[in-house]
Amino acid sequence: NASACVTGKPLNAGGIAGRVEATGRGVQYALREFFRHPEDVALTGLSGTLDGKRVIVQGLGNVGYHAASFLSAEDGAKITGIIEHDGALHDERGLDVEKVRAWINTHGGVSGYPDATHARDGATVLEEDCDILIPAALEGTINLENAARIKARLIIEAANGPVTAAANDILRERGVMIIPDMYANAGGVTVSYFEWVKNLSHIRFGRMQRRQEEARHEILVNELERLSRDRGLGWTLSAGFKDKYLHGAGELELVRSGLDDTMRTAYQAMREVFHGRDDVDDLRTAAYLVAIERVAASYRAKGL
Protein backbone atom coordinates (compact mmCIF):
# COMPACT_ATOMS: atom_id res chain seq x y z
CA ASN A 1 0.00 0.00 0.00
CA ALA A 2 3.03 2.31 -0.07
CA SER A 3 1.95 3.97 -3.32
CA ALA A 4 -1.09 5.40 -1.52
CA CYS A 5 1.16 7.59 0.64
CA VAL A 6 1.61 10.14 -2.15
CA THR A 7 -1.01 11.34 -4.63
CA GLY A 8 -0.78 13.26 -7.87
CA LYS A 9 1.47 10.56 -9.30
CA PRO A 10 1.92 9.90 -13.05
CA LEU A 11 -0.47 7.30 -14.44
CA ASN A 12 2.32 4.78 -14.95
CA ALA A 13 3.34 5.15 -11.30
CA GLY A 14 -0.04 4.45 -9.74
CA GLY A 15 -1.71 7.78 -10.50
CA ILE A 16 -5.29 8.29 -11.57
CA ALA A 17 -6.87 9.63 -14.75
CA GLY A 18 -8.23 13.15 -14.36
CA ARG A 19 -5.96 14.30 -11.54
CA VAL A 20 -4.22 17.02 -13.57
CA GLU A 21 -7.50 18.68 -14.55
CA ALA A 22 -9.24 18.01 -11.24
CA THR A 23 -9.12 21.40 -9.52
CA GLY A 24 -10.19 23.31 -12.62
CA ARG A 25 -12.84 20.70 -13.37
CA GLY A 26 -14.12 21.09 -9.81
CA VAL A 27 -14.46 24.85 -10.35
CA GLN A 28 -16.56 24.13 -13.44
CA TYR A 29 -18.75 21.65 -11.55
CA ALA A 30 -19.18 24.13 -8.68
CA LEU A 31 -20.41 26.80 -11.08
CA ARG A 32 -22.72 24.35 -12.83
CA GLU A 33 -24.27 23.41 -9.50
CA PHE A 34 -24.66 27.06 -8.51
CA PHE A 35 -26.53 27.78 -11.75
CA ARG A 36 -28.85 24.83 -11.14
CA HIS A 37 -30.44 26.88 -8.35
CA PRO A 38 -32.29 29.91 -9.80
CA GLU A 39 -32.91 31.22 -6.29
CA ASP A 40 -29.15 31.51 -5.73
CA VAL A 41 -28.45 32.89 -9.20
CA ALA A 42 -31.06 35.61 -8.65
CA LEU A 43 -29.10 36.87 -5.64
CA THR A 44 -26.30 37.89 -8.01
CA GLY A 45 -28.58 39.75 -10.39
CA LEU A 46 -27.79 37.18 -13.08
CA SER A 47 -30.18 34.72 -14.70
CA GLY A 48 -30.23 31.64 -16.89
CA THR A 49 -27.31 29.26 -17.31
CA LEU A 50 -23.56 29.57 -17.82
CA ASP A 51 -24.10 29.93 -21.56
CA GLY A 52 -23.01 33.39 -22.66
CA LYS A 53 -21.78 34.49 -19.24
CA ARG A 54 -18.75 36.79 -19.35
CA VAL A 55 -15.86 35.38 -17.33
CA ILE A 56 -12.54 36.91 -16.31
CA VAL A 57 -9.83 34.51 -15.11
CA GLN A 58 -6.80 35.60 -13.12
CA GLY A 59 -4.01 33.11 -13.76
CA LEU A 60 -3.89 30.67 -16.66
CA GLY A 61 -1.91 28.04 -14.81
CA ASN A 62 -3.18 24.54 -14.18
CA VAL A 63 -6.36 25.56 -12.35
CA GLY A 64 -7.25 28.67 -14.32
CA TYR A 65 -6.53 27.06 -17.68
CA HIS A 66 -8.66 23.98 -17.09
CA ALA A 67 -11.53 25.98 -15.58
CA ALA A 68 -11.51 28.47 -18.46
CA SER A 69 -11.13 25.77 -21.10
CA PHE A 70 -13.99 23.63 -19.79
CA LEU A 71 -16.33 26.58 -19.17
CA SER A 72 -15.85 27.94 -22.68
CA ALA A 73 -15.82 24.65 -24.58
CA GLU A 74 -18.52 22.77 -22.66
CA ASP A 75 -20.78 25.42 -21.10
CA GLY A 76 -20.73 28.25 -23.62
CA ALA A 77 -19.19 30.83 -21.28
CA LYS A 78 -17.21 33.68 -22.84
CA ILE A 79 -13.73 34.18 -21.39
CA THR A 80 -13.48 37.95 -21.81
CA GLY A 81 -10.36 38.47 -19.72
CA ILE A 82 -7.20 36.54 -18.85
CA ILE A 83 -4.75 38.02 -16.35
CA GLU A 84 -1.13 36.86 -16.18
CA HIS A 85 2.12 37.97 -14.55
CA ASP A 86 3.05 40.27 -17.46
CA GLY A 87 -0.31 41.93 -17.93
CA ALA A 88 -3.74 40.92 -19.13
CA LEU A 89 -5.79 40.28 -22.25
CA HIS A 90 -9.31 41.58 -22.71
CA ASP A 91 -11.86 41.03 -25.47
CA GLU A 92 -15.62 41.33 -24.98
CA ARG A 93 -16.17 38.93 -27.89
CA GLY A 94 -14.40 36.19 -25.96
CA LEU A 95 -10.83 34.89 -25.99
CA ASP A 96 -9.70 31.59 -27.49
CA VAL A 97 -8.35 29.89 -24.37
CA GLU A 98 -6.34 27.29 -26.27
CA LYS A 99 -4.66 29.92 -28.46
CA VAL A 100 -3.80 32.07 -25.44
CA ARG A 101 -2.42 29.03 -23.61
CA ALA A 102 -0.28 28.11 -26.62
CA TRP A 103 1.01 31.70 -26.83
CA ILE A 104 1.95 31.70 -23.14
CA ASN A 105 3.75 28.37 -23.48
CA THR A 106 5.75 29.72 -26.42
CA HIS A 107 6.42 33.29 -25.28
CA GLY A 108 6.31 33.01 -21.50
CA GLY A 109 3.42 35.43 -21.05
CA VAL A 110 0.51 37.22 -22.73
CA SER A 111 2.51 40.23 -23.93
CA GLY A 112 2.39 40.53 -27.71
CA TYR A 113 -0.67 38.31 -28.16
CA PRO A 114 -2.20 39.63 -31.39
CA ASP A 115 -5.92 38.89 -31.06
CA ALA A 116 -6.91 40.91 -27.99
CA THR A 117 -6.32 44.16 -26.16
CA HIS A 118 -3.28 43.94 -23.90
CA ALA A 119 -3.09 45.81 -20.58
CA ARG A 120 0.31 46.13 -18.93
CA ASP A 121 -1.29 46.35 -15.50
CA GLY A 122 -3.30 43.15 -15.14
CA ALA A 123 -5.02 44.47 -12.02
CA THR A 124 -7.06 46.85 -14.18
CA VAL A 125 -8.70 43.93 -16.01
CA LEU A 126 -9.63 42.44 -12.65
CA GLU A 127 -11.94 45.44 -12.32
CA GLU A 128 -13.50 45.17 -15.80
CA ASP A 129 -17.21 44.49 -16.13
CA CYS A 130 -18.01 40.77 -16.19
CA ASP A 131 -20.51 38.28 -14.80
CA ILE A 132 -18.10 35.86 -13.13
CA LEU A 133 -14.61 36.51 -11.77
CA ILE A 134 -12.29 33.56 -11.19
CA PRO A 135 -9.17 34.46 -9.18
CA ALA A 136 -7.03 31.38 -9.79
CA ALA A 137 -3.53 32.50 -8.87
CA LEU A 138 -2.46 34.64 -5.95
CA GLU A 139 -3.59 35.02 -2.36
CA GLY A 140 -5.04 38.42 -1.48
CA THR A 141 -5.72 39.42 -5.09
CA ILE A 142 -8.96 41.14 -4.11
CA ASN A 143 -8.26 43.34 -1.13
CA LEU A 144 -9.19 46.53 0.69
CA GLU A 145 -7.77 48.67 -2.12
CA ASN A 146 -9.72 47.25 -5.06
CA ALA A 147 -12.79 45.52 -3.59
CA ALA A 148 -15.06 48.52 -4.14
CA ARG A 149 -14.14 48.59 -7.86
CA ILE A 150 -14.82 44.92 -8.61
CA LYS A 151 -17.74 44.77 -11.07
CA ALA A 152 -18.31 41.01 -11.17
CA ARG A 153 -21.56 39.84 -9.60
CA LEU A 154 -20.21 36.39 -8.78
CA ILE A 155 -16.71 35.46 -7.60
CA ILE A 156 -15.56 31.86 -7.35
CA GLU A 157 -12.32 31.38 -5.43
CA ALA A 158 -10.26 28.95 -7.49
CA ALA A 159 -7.09 30.02 -5.66
CA ASN A 160 -6.51 29.76 -1.92
CA GLY A 161 -7.48 32.93 -0.09
CA PRO A 162 -7.75 35.27 -3.10
CA VAL A 163 -10.20 37.54 -1.24
CA THR A 164 -9.01 39.13 2.00
CA ALA A 165 -11.29 39.35 5.03
CA ALA A 166 -11.70 43.11 4.61
CA ALA A 167 -12.50 42.74 0.91
CA ASN A 168 -14.97 39.98 1.70
CA ASP A 169 -16.93 42.36 3.95
CA ILE A 170 -16.99 45.09 1.29
CA LEU A 171 -18.11 42.70 -1.43
CA ARG A 172 -20.85 41.22 0.72
CA GLU A 173 -22.16 44.71 1.54
CA ARG A 174 -22.32 45.36 -2.20
CA GLY A 175 -24.28 42.15 -2.79
CA VAL A 176 -21.51 40.27 -4.59
CA MET A 177 -21.85 36.50 -4.17
CA ILE A 178 -18.65 34.61 -3.33
CA ILE A 179 -18.29 30.85 -3.75
CA PRO A 180 -15.58 30.13 -1.15
CA ASP A 181 -12.21 28.50 -1.79
CA MET A 182 -12.63 25.75 0.79
CA TYR A 183 -15.37 24.38 -1.46
CA ALA A 184 -14.59 25.72 -4.93
CA ASN A 185 -11.02 24.44 -5.28
CA ALA A 186 -11.56 21.11 -3.54
CA GLY A 187 -11.55 19.17 -6.82
CA GLY A 188 -7.85 18.41 -6.57
CA VAL A 189 -7.91 16.92 -3.10
CA THR A 190 -11.12 15.05 -3.94
CA VAL A 191 -9.51 13.27 -6.88
CA SER A 192 -6.39 12.69 -4.76
CA TYR A 193 -8.70 10.84 -2.39
CA PHE A 194 -9.95 8.77 -5.33
CA GLU A 195 -6.31 8.01 -6.19
CA TRP A 196 -5.67 6.92 -2.60
CA VAL A 197 -8.69 4.59 -2.74
CA LYS A 198 -7.50 3.19 -6.07
CA ASN A 199 -4.03 2.48 -4.66
CA LEU A 200 -5.44 0.72 -1.60
CA SER A 201 -7.76 -1.44 -3.71
CA HIS A 202 -5.01 -2.24 -6.26
CA ILE A 203 -7.41 -1.99 -9.19
CA ARG A 204 -8.33 0.86 -11.49
CA PHE A 205 -11.83 2.29 -11.49
CA GLY A 206 -14.00 0.73 -14.21
CA ARG A 207 -11.95 -2.47 -14.51
CA MET A 208 -14.69 -4.76 -13.19
CA GLN A 209 -17.80 -3.27 -14.84
CA ARG A 210 -16.84 -1.51 -18.08
CA ARG A 211 -17.18 -4.42 -20.53
CA GLN A 212 -20.32 -5.70 -18.82
CA GLU A 213 -21.84 -2.24 -19.18
CA GLU A 214 -20.90 -2.13 -22.87
CA ALA A 215 -22.46 -5.57 -23.42
CA ARG A 216 -25.77 -4.53 -21.82
CA HIS A 217 -25.89 -1.38 -23.93
CA GLU A 218 -25.16 -3.37 -27.08
CA ILE A 219 -28.09 -5.70 -26.35
CA LEU A 220 -30.42 -2.70 -26.11
CA VAL A 221 -29.12 -1.08 -29.32
CA ASN A 222 -29.41 -4.34 -31.26
CA GLU A 223 -32.95 -4.92 -29.99
CA LEU A 224 -34.11 -1.42 -30.94
CA GLU A 225 -32.69 -1.78 -34.44
CA ARG A 226 -34.22 -5.27 -34.79
CA LEU A 227 -37.65 -3.86 -33.89
CA SER A 228 -37.21 -1.16 -36.52
CA ARG A 229 -36.37 -3.74 -39.19
CA ASP A 230 -39.14 -6.17 -38.23
CA ARG A 231 -41.81 -3.46 -38.23
CA GLY A 232 -40.53 -1.70 -41.31
CA LEU A 233 -39.99 1.58 -39.48
CA GLY A 234 -36.90 2.38 -41.50
CA TRP A 235 -34.93 4.17 -38.82
CA THR A 236 -31.61 3.41 -37.23
CA LEU A 237 -29.62 4.90 -34.38
CA SER A 238 -26.94 7.34 -35.48
CA ALA A 239 -23.34 6.19 -35.50
CA GLY A 240 -22.41 9.05 -33.17
CA PHE A 241 -25.02 8.05 -30.61
CA LYS A 242 -23.99 4.39 -30.76
CA ASP A 243 -20.32 5.24 -30.31
CA LYS A 244 -21.11 7.21 -27.16
CA TYR A 245 -23.71 4.82 -25.77
CA LEU A 246 -21.69 1.67 -26.41
CA HIS A 247 -18.58 3.14 -24.78
CA GLY A 248 -18.46 1.86 -21.22
CA ALA A 249 -17.30 4.20 -18.49
CA GLY A 250 -13.54 4.03 -17.97
CA GLU A 251 -11.51 5.50 -15.15
CA LEU A 252 -11.64 9.09 -16.41
CA GLU A 253 -15.42 9.06 -16.81
CA LEU A 254 -15.89 7.56 -13.35
CA VAL A 255 -13.49 10.03 -11.74
CA ARG A 256 -15.36 12.93 -13.35
CA SER A 257 -18.68 11.46 -12.24
CA GLY A 258 -17.46 11.05 -8.67
CA LEU A 259 -16.06 14.58 -8.60
CA ASP A 260 -19.29 16.01 -10.00
CA ASP A 261 -21.30 14.19 -7.34
CA THR A 262 -18.98 15.45 -4.60
CA MET A 263 -19.25 19.07 -5.75
CA ARG A 264 -23.03 18.84 -6.08
CA THR A 265 -23.68 17.34 -2.66
CA ALA A 266 -21.21 19.68 -0.96
CA TYR A 267 -22.87 22.73 -2.47
CA GLN A 268 -26.32 21.50 -1.49
CA ALA A 269 -25.18 21.05 2.12
CA MET A 270 -23.73 24.56 2.07
CA ARG A 271 -26.82 26.23 0.59
CA GLU A 272 -29.09 24.39 3.02
CA VAL A 273 -27.39 26.25 5.87
CA PHE A 274 -27.24 29.47 3.84
CA HIS A 275 -30.98 29.48 3.22
CA GLY A 276 -32.01 27.79 6.46
CA ARG A 277 -30.46 30.10 9.05
CA ASP A 278 -31.28 33.77 9.54
CA ASP A 279 -27.84 34.46 11.01
CA VAL A 280 -25.98 33.21 7.91
CA ASP A 281 -25.84 35.60 4.97
CA ASP A 282 -22.99 34.21 2.87
CA LEU A 283 -21.76 30.89 1.52
CA ARG A 284 -18.38 31.13 3.26
CA THR A 285 -19.95 31.19 6.72
CA ALA A 286 -22.28 28.38 5.66
CA ALA A 287 -19.31 26.29 4.51
CA TYR A 288 -17.50 26.79 7.81
CA LEU A 289 -20.59 25.81 9.77
CA VAL A 290 -21.08 22.64 7.72
CA ALA A 291 -17.41 21.69 8.19
CA ILE A 292 -17.35 22.41 11.93
CA GLU A 293 -20.56 20.49 12.52
CA ARG A 294 -19.17 17.46 10.68
CA VAL A 295 -15.98 17.52 12.72
CA ALA A 296 -18.04 17.85 15.90
CA ALA A 297 -20.30 14.96 14.85
CA SER A 298 -17.23 12.79 14.28
CA TYR A 299 -15.89 13.64 17.74
CA ARG A 300 -19.26 12.91 19.36
CA ALA A 301 -19.50 9.56 17.58
CA LYS A 302 -16.09 8.60 18.99
CA GLY A 303 -17.01 9.73 22.48
CA LEU A 304 -14.42 12.51 22.53
Quick: pLDDT tens for 194-221.
999 999 999 999 999 999 999 999 999 9
Q: Domains in the chain and their CATH numbers?
A: 19-187 (3.40.50.720), 205-301 (no CATH)
CB of 55 closer than 8 Å to CB of 71: yes
Query: Average model confidence (pLDDT) for the chain?
Result: 97
> Coil, strand, or helix at residue 42?
helix
> Coil, strand, or helix at residue 268?
helix
What are the backbone dihedrals phi and psi of residue 119, each rounded to the nearest 5 degrees, phi first? -110, 125
Residue 73 has pLDDT above 90, yes or no: yes
- Which residues are paired to 171 by β-bridges? none
- Which residues are paired to 57 by β-bridges? 82, 134
pLDDT tens readout for residues 117-156: 999 999 999 999 999 999 999 999 999 999 999 999 999 9
Strands 117-119 and 87-90: antiparallel
